[in-house]
Amino acid sequence: MEVNVAIQSARDVDLVSSQLSMQGAANLNLTGTLASPVILGRVNLTGGDIFFLGKRYEVRNGTIEFSNPAHTEPVVNL
């Protein structure tokens, strides 16, 4: 079964968990098949915090880009 779903966030989205707190926006497409879905698109980060190995890191801005149509491969730039 083929999949083609567009995912677009509101202008300002807040993602919060015990390991991260991020603000930003996303424009993504889920394509491929149910057995092998692929994410394409971009996430723009406008700020937040990441807790990694017991340390806090502040994110001022960044992007996560998914541009490989063969498989989901995020390219992170923070």
The answer to whether the CB of 52 falls within 8 A of the CB of 38 is no
Task: Tell me how far apart the alpha carbons of residues 77 and 59 are, in angstroms, rounded to a whole number.
Answer: 10
pTM score of the predicted model: 0.81
Q: What is the pLDDT of residues 5-30, one digit of tens each?
A: 999 987 788 888 888 899 999 999 99
Residue range 29-68, pLDDT digits in tens: 999 999 999 999 999 999 999 998 999 999 999 999 999 9
Looking at the chain, the number of H-run helices and the number of E-run strands are: 0, 7
